[in-house]
Structure 1
Amino acid sequence: MASRIALRSVLLGGSMLLALAQPAIAQQAQPGDGANVEEAETSIVVTGSRIARTGFDSPTPVAVVDQTQIKLAGNVNIERTLVQLPQAVGSQLGNAFSNTVPGGIADVNLRGFGSQRNLVLVNGRRFAIYGPEQVVDLNTIPTTLIARTEIVTGGSSAVYGSDAITGVVNFIIRDDFEGVEGRGQINIDHPTGTPVVNLDLTVGGNFAGGRGNLVVSGNYLDRGSITRGERGSFAFDSLNDGCTVPGSGTASSAGTPFTPAGGLGCVAGGGEPGFIRGGSGDIPNGRFSGIPAFGGVNAALNTAYAAAGLSALGSRGFTFDDAGTAARPALTPQDDFNLGPDNYLRQPQRRWMINSFGHYDFTDNITGYLELHYSNNEVSARLAPTNVGSPTLFDVNNPYLSAPLQGVLRQLDLAETGRINVTTGTATRSTTPGDGLAVITAGRRYVEVGPRMATERRNVFRVAAGLRGDLGSLSEGFGTDLRYDIYYTYSRSEGTLLLENALSRSRLQAALLSQGGAAPVCNIFGQNIDEACRSAIAITASNSTVATQQVAQASLTGTAVELPAGPLGFSLGAEWRDTSTRFVPDNFLGSGDVAGFNPGLPTSGSVGVTEIFGELRVPLIADVPFIDSLTANGAFRYSSYDLDGVGGVWTYLGGLEWQPVRDVMLRGQYQRAIRAPNVGELFGGRNRVVGAANDPCSSRGNSSERTDAVRQLCIATGVPAGLVFGAGVQPNNIFPADFGGNPDLQEEVSDTWTGGIVVTPRFAPGLFFSADYFDITLDGAIAPLGGNAQNALNLCYLVIQDAGSEFCQAVQRNPQSGEINDPYALQVLNANTGRLHTSGVDLAARYSTDLGFGFPALGTTSRLDLASNFTWLQDFDVTPVAAFPDIINQCAGSFGPNCGQPLPRWRGTTRATWTVGEVALSLRHRYLGPVVTDRYIVPLRQGSATTPQLGNIAYPRLPAQHYVDLSFNWTPAERFELFGGANNLFNNNPPITTQGPNSNTWAATYDVLGVEFFLGATLRF
């Protein structure tokens, strides 16, 4: 029983799918967010099927957002339009507010399963990918050219191939344009006044007597940066959970940190839970630790401590005054460095882009088409100045230290037991007792070098060329309306990441030691870094990434036969794809010598696949009582991969559409989908990532888990016996872990069920309503061993408790202090290790009516359009480790380190648009339901005996958020249009939490800009 409780407690440390599964989202059943997309009377191809049909009705719900809605939302990047829809959110690492390295991209995440599990298309064809993740950067999508966006959530691998686990986003581009159109738009946020400028120029025209058309469009975007310091109302401070003095305020420094899930909490210990100002233990004046505390068995060392004024020295070590002449014990949080102000809240972006679309009718039955794309994106991240906190060698007679402190170093040197190796980047040095060198963990924030800057410059080129046309009919009743499409696409993405204001570990170590009897170059005690030291240790690093994708496809669609209930539509085809990626870090990054940015090893590889696919749409019954129509559909795809772990795989789907009467349609579908591992997951070199986690062998773990069995396991895995469960084992709340690829990975497999009803009553023209249930299960989720660093530790020490297990073997520690710290990092490689499951109901309604009145100055009549789209989330379950299928993180309605982005039960948008003459006014309400921290929800739902009380958690509930947006569109002249508005009209600040990835909130979910005004104009010639 005890082991089972411990097993459940594993999941408190973080879901292994945190990097994979993003916030849950909703799905609309029909044109979304008030989109006025008319159901075409002619046959069109709707995303989710290759068979042409009339209108947007399909077995799987399709959300459609047109150009008008994109414009009224005021977003110049399509990423933000998608994040505001119920069925999609911005990725935690792929949005303008992530400030991550590497970063500089924008992606889309359907259903919360991660951006790598949905597919992005342009005109029904795969678009350019970036990096080893093989994901489309939405910064390369020309927002102004989008005619509409069609979104299908739920597996679509049978129709489109791998990666369509949770669905497809298909951007339909305006590719038949005549004239000249210029558009300009500026967005300005109210708190800082930082502008975003977007300019577009589109030129198009027919040629060859109307047989051809060519469109060329250019775009320039300049997005200004906003730092956390500029949004001080919630983002300035680095906040921690703590016990505050009553009445001291929510961000007081008058408090002490605590672990909410352990100990007596705040109430029993005095004070109340709240936020306290915190930060990093690596501070500008230096913090020197990893040495015995005062009062130990070494009397000579205690005497030296006392002489240096360190009689109160504890596990956090000591620091200096500004002059570097006097030392004292380091304190927390008083001495901690505030990481907040220097970091970007919104990353700057500068983009140049050109797109060209052309087609030419060679004959009435043969049309050639061409798509060209080139873009140059530059996006920067800015982080707090570089810190180094690793074992460091010092001369015991360092001239910058006082005589008493030199005495401390001398005693530390004499107290060494045997040879100690100190690794600094590319160099390893040894020290022995009495050799004049002492080892101390030197934790310093090198503010003199300046904030870390990471600038990503990415060039993307794509060409798509093909032939399409009509083949006519094989006979009068068989093989009619045959159409073909043959195309080839090639894309290449080249990215360079320039990392500035980093440090060289090896150069720093060399600069701290005497060379030939001269004084060390660097004095890091206090604030004494001079230009000579800065020049000696500061470096610039870089890496480059090249990703290519080739696709060749041929397909044939048409009517096989005429059945009594209608035409039997079909589609057949074959496809070949090849994706390859090459990631090359420079010597600093590749060797691990860089400090300030995560190191990494070269990655290269390719994935190739050959496929055949087919689809049927079969009308079964029509025009009989209680069956106005009954139609079945099915599809299959066989994929042969050049990967040993995947090989040949089948995907398939089947569904029904039943209209008992003309006004009502019932629909349902089952889909089997797969995702083959990408190049990064297969062949990625080991990459060191520093992140937040708790070491069970330190004082940061849950006190109830500090058993003798855990103690013995800590000793067996490298913690000195006298330091187990001490604060010195983990002085900071972060430590490094090495992640890397596995060429033996298998495919991920998902099963999706959808079922719903669509009502379009004839007695209420203009009214539409739909409700759809969805259920998606993903098995074999690819993630690091155990899920993440926290789970690897918990599985080792709290669950399996076997030093020989793969989880314990992944642990490396500093033999002197027991710390997991550079160069001793967790070794966590990829595996098919987990399971994801989500379910819920999507609700969509819209109504359009002529009001019958107007205003003489504007128009004689007016129209009201109402649209609402909501999702109720029933389940969002994460099984971190498949070996323990009963241990599930039930995340619906929660947020935090286990579940990631907030997953509210209810989420949706409602828009009302009033149009009179050439003027349209639109009011939109966005709603995000309340969520509760997963530190409480997850163990509670698991029935854990260690579930903390809500009263011991600082601000455990994030309240519901209401955002109101107002916009207008005015066409005073035939060729001139003016539009604008204000988003987050009432300046709703985001809820504050220490459990978000940055900025003290979840910037990918909540609005962080305050009121954002936008104004734009379109001029046509």
Structure 2
Amino acid sequence: MYTNNKLAKSIRLALMFGGASVALSSTANAQEESTGEEAAQERIQVTGSRISRTDYESSSPVQITSAEEIKLSGYTRIEDLMNSLPQVEASQTSFIANGASGVANLDLRGMGANRTLVLMNGRRLQPGGVYSQAPDVNQIPSALVKRVEVLTGGGSATYGADAVAGVVNFVMDDDFSGLELVVGGSGYQHDNDNEYIQGLMDDRNFVYPTGNSGIDGKAFNIDLTMGGDFADGKGHATAYATWRTIDELRQESRDYSSCALNSAGTACGGSGTTPNPNFYFYPSVDGTPDYSQQVFWTLDPNSNFIPSEGNVYNYAPVNHFMRPDERYTLGAFVDYEVNENFRPYMEISYMHNRTKAQIAESGIFYNFFSFDIDNPLFSDSQRQQFRDQFGAGTEEVSAYIGKRNVEGGPRASVLEHSSYRLVAGSEGYLGDAWSYDVSFQYGSTSSSSVYINDFFTPRIGEAIGAIGSNDCVDPCIPYEVFTFNGVTAEQADPIKGTGILNGVTTQRVFNAFATGEFDYSIPSSSYPIAAVIGVENREVDFERTSDEVFAQGLLAGQGGPTPSLTGGYNVREVFGELSVPLLDNATAVDSLTLELGGRYSDYNTSGGETAYKVAIDYNPTADWKVRASFNRAVRAPNIAELFAQQSLGLWQGTDPCAGSDPELSQAACANTGVTAAQYGNVSTSPASQYNGFFGGNPNLDPEIADTLTFGVVGNPIENLNFSVDYFNIDLEEVIGTISPELTITQCGETGLAVFCDNIQRSATGNLWQGDENRVTATNINLATRTVSGVDVSANYQIDDVLGGTVNAKMIGSYSLEKEYNPIPGVESAVYDCSGLISVDCFPQPDWRHSLTVSYASDADWTANVKWRYFGGVDYDGTTDQLVADGLGSQSYIDLNGAFDVTENVSFLIGVNNVLDKEAPMVGSSLATNANTVAGFYDTLGRYLHASVTFRF
């Protein structure tokens, strides 16, 4: 049988120390090698297939991360470990502040978290929260993870929608016996010695940290697991409870994040919304300004207006670099064998998470107001300045005001998520060769966002006496915005408001399938044909309720409205798989197997769709495998993509027609709405944020992806196995938006209405002052996306080395192509992100790997060293001079050791990023947070961790 050949043994050996991309995932005891008659009857279910049989390995590349690797990494956030895999890009992490959803998502191949299917014990997790339609892996208690299986290719035929880039399956230790208590702590340490940015801050007289940071960003965790048999061994129960708390870290804690770099990365920039306000003034009549007479002023210490030059606010220090977080999880796994034909089981889990995303203070973000020149907040000298500037008869002025509320403190979004998940079902045998599994699962996530300390815009006009605003009634506290340092905390408090969002996601899944082997085979093979056939019904509903403040966008710092959202869909599916052994024990053929799979899905929103797969598994000898597969994957649009109301928001980047020396020519900028008089005079947003118009589209079609994989698995010598797998994913009908910056560029270069009609500039030509100017970027089915590359893994073990064992494991991924073709028929819009970073490209190294060497002593201690490597990336753009030569390669070294004090007590201690390597800095248009690509590269310096485990 295949289970006893040398290839199977090498695979099991790989699993014993976290083998990569090999082939095996057993629902029984995947990390132990069975022998004899018991091995002959062992049934294996491989990730990527629901077929359970005794005699074959997977034709799909599967990356395995063991429980030991998870523990040795020291990470208490499961996404931190997953983001260290070469196949994964950082998505929503704890290192995101502005725009944080409060969840943790996984993004395989950088194709988007909504194209990565996340499972727990082979069943999908429900969507995450009020801002997210992707699964939140905060639900996963890392202490109870037995292994993580990553199928890096399409899996829609087996599991349904969303498995475009692949599948992440968290296999839980539901067979645990005994009691285990883990108490751990961790923190970060960094030597602040970045001469480059310190010099930039010295130029601005900014304060920043120097020298040793000490240990900060501390985290503490307690994990309790218990389990055992009951009812004379017929049943087993495993229960767990975990608690984790993480301290906040602000950007002021690191020198390289203590100032907000400009887009070029050459100076400490910041926001034009400043403590000492900036004003764009115009003469006006009945609220209609004469933009041709614009002046840009600020205040001198005597409260006179003077030209504003370089008056920007360094908003960085108070922003979170890492959000504070507290999480609780509880759960249990129970099974009971009535008889071999009826084995009911249940899974129940609960997670509560609370985090706070703090960003810089609110303020008046260049809102537009008109004033009678006799407004009591103007001084006599200011009135005279207006008349001197705009004419003696001036009676009314209009203004865009930029004032930062430093008197009132930073804004914050308090994000909470409570997730419940219940699975109930039964499995058993249907005769000698067939088994069944029937289950129902219910998952629900309740989430909320309470936005605090922001300005409530209707009150601003009242407090400054703007024309058309309500009167400021008693007790009226005027907001002295036209007086130098005239604003106080007492004046700011009445203007503040609070916005509240509440969301509920529910997912109900009924799944039933039967799998087994027929009692016949084709003549050229001695092994039977195996199959699975099943049905599934899935319902997903989402409701987000916005209060009036969010719904109308009445908070100054929100960038636009956040409307309520209600929607759902239902899908009925039938699926099947077939494994056909074609040939075995022939010349040059140890085994040859054909695998087929198909799934028909009927969505109430978009109709019927078909996914399928064809795979070949060829073993020329017992030591070598050649595998190839083709998968057709389908992803239906999620609720937000379909039903989100269209509303105003912000996008990060640059306007290529702004500034004194625009990137685009005058003729090109004219296509985007810039007049000849405005060219070279269009103002640039100091914070690199511009207005956009975003939202859903109920007429979206499903995405279609074709995934091709081809690979070789080998066991050329004893204790060495490796795999090399090529992958290619072609995605069509991509659901997304055309990036606003790309829209502007393509409009300028082509003049096509499909781009230019989506650009609406202000009377002064800019895209950021006020809320009437914008670039429309609502959801549409775009053209295509192609991702291809090669995954490599190798595992080697040396026995009897100084009384112990040396294990080496390497996993790597080489990116060949990451091409985006966002607009059909427009070749100039096509771009390839492989090996590049740009405003449209997440940094995608051509090569990325991790290499781990471990030593396990017979004296009950182990030591590990890991080398994580990110290849360099080139910069595709002209704005960011800091990265003009690209980002250099990054190497991080991790060390850890574990030892048993007694049979019941063990210690683990480690340091990740031992050499305190900083994340590469980028300008504001490329940064995801704090002048870095946060959460992808090591973001905060050294990571120190320690834990003690008690077992009983």
Structure-2-length-normalised TM-score: 0.88
Aligned equivalents of 2:660 and 2:149: distance in 1? 48
Is 2:948 aligned against 1:989?
Answer: no
For residues 266-287 of structure 1, what are the alpha-carbon distances to aligned partners after superposition, in whole Å with 9 as ceiling and x for unaligned? xxxxxxxx62111111111100
Identity of aligned residues (%): 30
Aligned equivalents of 2:849 and 2:886: distance in 1? 20
Q: Could you tell me which of 501, 517, 542 is aligned with 2:500?
A: 542
For residues 209-229 of structure 1, what are the alpha-carbon distances to aligned partners after superposition, in whole Å with 9 as ceiling and x for unaligned? 111112221110001111111
1:275 corresponds to: 266
Report the alpha carbon displacement of residue 792 of structure 1 after superposing the two structures with TM: 2.6
Alpha carbons 2:53, 2:517 under 8 Å: kept? no
Alpha carbons 1:28, 1:86 under 8 Å: kept? no
Alpha carbons 1:151, 1:168 under 8 Å: kept? yes
Q: Could you tell me which of 574, 598, 607 is aligned with 2:535?
A: 574
Report the alpha carbon displacement of residue 366 of structure 1 after superposing the two structures with TM: 0.4
For residues 287-334 of structure 1, what are the alpha-carbon distances to aligned partners after superposition, in whole Å with 9 as ceiling and x for unaligned? 0015489xxxx99999xxxxxxxxxxxx7711113x5613221112xx
Is 2:809 aligned against 1:867?
Answer: yes
Alpha carbons 2:283, 2:397 under 8 Å: kept? no
Aligned equivalents of 1:383 and 1:882: distance in 2? 39
Is 2:476 aligned against 1:523?
Answer: no
Aligned equivalents of 2:291 and 2:580: distance in 1? 90
Report the alpha carbon displacement of residue 826 of structure 1 after superposing the two structures with TM: 3.0
Report the alpha carbon displacement of residue 560 of structure 1 after superposing the two structures with TM: 2.0
Q: Summarize the Cα distance change of 1:657–1:205 in structure 2 as closer, same or farther, 3 Å threshold.
A: same
SS state at 2:934 partner? coil
Is 2:147 aligned against 1:205?
Answer: no
Which amino acid is 1:796 matched to? C
1:424 corresponds to: none
Q: Could you tell me which of 896, 904, 925 is aligned with 2:845?
A: 904
For residues 848-903 of structure 1, what are the alpha-carbon distances to aligned partners after superposition, in whole Å with 9 as ceiling and x for unaligned? 1212532xxxxxxx101011111111111111222425642111111121212x11
Report the alpha carbon displacement of residue 981 of structure 1 after superposing the two structures with TM: 0.6
Alpha carbons 2:691, 2:767 under 8 Å: kept? no
Aligned equivalents of 2:71 and 2:170: distance in 1? 15
Aligned equivalents of 1:550 and 1:979: distance in 2? 40
Paired residues for 1:769-788 under 5 Å: 769-784=722-737, 787-788=738-739
1:4 corresponds to: none
Q: Summarize the Cα distance change of 1:721–1:512 in structure 2 as closer, same or farther, 3 Å threshold.
A: farther
Aligned equivalents of 2:550 and 2:455: distance in 1? 11
Aligned equivalents of 1:384 and 1:239: distance in 2? 15
For residues 321-371 of structure 1, what are the alpha-carbon distances to aligned partners after superposition, in whole Å with 9 as ceiling and x for unaligned? 3x5613221112xx2111211111111110111011111112221011111
Is 2:228 aligned against 1:236?
Answer: no
Structure 1 unaligned segments of length 5 or more: list them.
Answer: 1-26, 243-273, 303-314, 416-432, 474-480, 855-861, 937-947
Q: Could you tell me which of 603, 618, 633 is aligned with 2:595?
A: 633
1:46 corresponds to: 46
Aligned equivalents of 2:121 and 2:553: distance in 1? 43
Alpha carbons 1:452, 1:502 under 8 Å: kept? yes
2:21 corresponds to: 29
Q: Summarize the Cα distance change of 1:523–1:985 in structure 2 as closer, same or farther, 3 Å threshold.
A: same
Which amino acid is 1:524 matched to? V
Structure 2 unaligned segments of length 5 or more: list them.
Answer: 1-18, 191-213
Aligned equivalents of 1:517 and 1:158: distance in 2? 65
1:929 corresponds to: 871
1:822 corresponds to: 770
Paired residues for 1:855-894 under 5 Å: 862-885=804-827, 887-894=829-836
Aligned equivalents of 2:426 and 2:291: distance in 1? 86
Q: Summarize the Cα distance change of 1:968–1:208 in structure 2 as closer, same or farther, 3 Å threshold.
A: same
SS state at 2:748 partner? helix
Report the alpha carbon displacement of residue 53 of structure 1 after superposing the two structures with TM: 4.5
Aligned equivalents of 2:449 and 2:656: distance in 1? 36
For residues 97-117 of structure 1, what are the alpha-carbon distances to aligned partners after superposition, in whole Å with 9 as ceiling and x for unaligned? 111334211111101101100
Is 2:695 aligned against 1:733?
Answer: no
Report the alpha carbon displacement of residue 979 of structure 1 after superposing the two structures with TM: 1.1
Alpha carbons 2:20, 2:794 under 8 Å: kept? no
Is 2:419 aligned against 1:460?
Answer: yes
Q: Summarize the Cα distance change of 1:987–1:783 in structure 2 as closer, same or farther, 3 Å threshold.
A: same
Alpha carbons 1:767, 1:845 under 8 Å: kept? yes
Which amino acid is 2:872 matched to? P
1:160 corresponds to: 159
Q: Summarize the Cα distance change of 1:760–1:438 in structure 2 as closer, same or farther, 3 Å threshold.
A: same
2:12 corresponds to: none
1:269 corresponds to: none
Aligned equivalents of 1:733 and 1:633: distance in 2? 51
Alpha carbons 1:410, 1:438 under 8 Å: kept? no
Is 2:361 aligned against 1:401?
Answer: no
For residues 526-564 of structure 1, what are the alpha-carbon distances to aligned partners after superposition, in whole Å with 9 as ceiling and x for unaligned? 322224421221111111111111100110000023323
Aligned equivalents of 1:1003 and 1:792: distance in 2? 26
Q: Summarize the Cα distance change of 1:819–1:689 in structure 2 as closer, same or farther, 3 Å threshold.
A: closer
Paired residues for 1:358-507 under 5 Å: 358-387=334-363, 388-409=365-386, 436-473=395-432, 481-507=433-459
Which amino acid is 1:326 matched to? N
Report the alpha carbon displacement of residue 833 of structure 1 after superposing the two structures with TM: 1.1
Aligned equivalents of 2:885 and 2:152: distance in 1? 31
Q: Could you tell me which of 788, 795, 801 is aligned with 1:846?
A: 795
Which amino acid is 1:340 matched to? A
Aligned equivalents of 1:767 and 1:300: distance in 2? 73
Which amino acid is 2:722 matched to? F
Report the alpha carbon displacement of residue 31 of structure 1 after superposing the two structures with TM: 7.8
Q: How many residues align?
A: 880
For residues 673-708 of structure 1, what are the alpha-carbon distances to aligned partners after superposition, in whole Å with 9 as ceiling and x for unaligned? 01000000000022432223333553367455211x
Report the alpha carbon displacement of residue 760 of structure 1 after superposing the two structures with TM: 0.7
Is 2:677 aligned against 1:677?
Answer: no
Q: Could you tell me which of 305, 308, 317 is aligned with 1:330?
A: 308
Which amino acid is 1:1017 matched to? V
With 335-344 and 629-638 compared, the bigger mean Cα shift is at 335-344
Aligned equivalents of 1:838 and 1:558: distance in 2? 35
Which amino acid is 1:680 matched to? A
Report the alpha carbon displacement of residue 732 of structure 1 after superposing the two structures with TM: 6.0
Which amino acid is 1:328 matched to? I
Is 2:749 aligned against 1:798?
Answer: yes
Aligned equivalents of 1:832 and 1:626: distance in 2? 47
1:251 corresponds to: none
SS state at 2:778 partner? strand
SS state at 1:926 partner? strand
Which amino acid is 1:327 matched to? F
Query: Which structure has the higher relative contact order (CA within 8 Å, separation 6+)?
Result: 1
Report the alpha carbon displacement of residue 61 of structure 1 after superposing the two structures with TM: 0.6
Alpha carbons 1:275, 1:954 under 8 Å: kept? no
Alpha carbons 1:241, 1:954 under 8 Å: kept? no
Is 2:946 aligned against 1:1018?
Answer: no
Aligned equivalents of 2:132 and 2:376: distance in 1? 50
Which amino acid is 1:170 matched to? N
Alpha carbons 1:483, 1:556 under 8 Å: kept? yes
Report the alpha carbon displacement of residue 574 of structure 1 after superposing the two structures with TM: 0.3
Q: Summarize the Cα distance change of 1:300–1:64 in structure 2 as closer, same or farther, 3 Å threshold.
A: closer
SS state at 2:270 partner? coil
Is 2:946 aligned against 1:1005?
Answer: no
1:812 corresponds to: 760
With 356-365 and 515-524 compared, the bigger mean Cα shift is at 515-524
Which amino acid is 2:869 matched to? Y
For residues 588-646 of structure 1, what are the alpha-carbon distances to aligned partners after superposition, in whole Å with 9 as ceiling and x for unaligned? 11112111124311111001100000001111000011001111101000000001xx3
For residues 910-948 of structure 1, what are the alpha-carbon distances to aligned partners after superposition, in whole Å with 9 as ceiling and x for unaligned? 001101121010111000011111216xxxxxxxxxxx9
Aligned equivalents of 1:703 and 1:301: distance in 2? 24
Structure-1-length-normalised TM-score: 0.82
For residues 357-404 of structure 1, what are the alpha-carbon distances to aligned partners after superposition, in whole Å with 9 as ceiling and x for unaligned? 111112221011111111110011110111311212233123343323
SS state at 2:143 partner? helix
Aligned equivalents of 1:487 and 1:921: distance in 2? 42
Which amino acid is 2:478 matched to? V
Aligned equivalents of 2:770 and 2:757: distance in 1? 17
Q: Could you tell me which of 907, 912, 925 is aligned with 1:978?
A: 907
Report the alpha carbon displacement of residue 37 of structure 1 after superposing the two structures with TM: 4.2
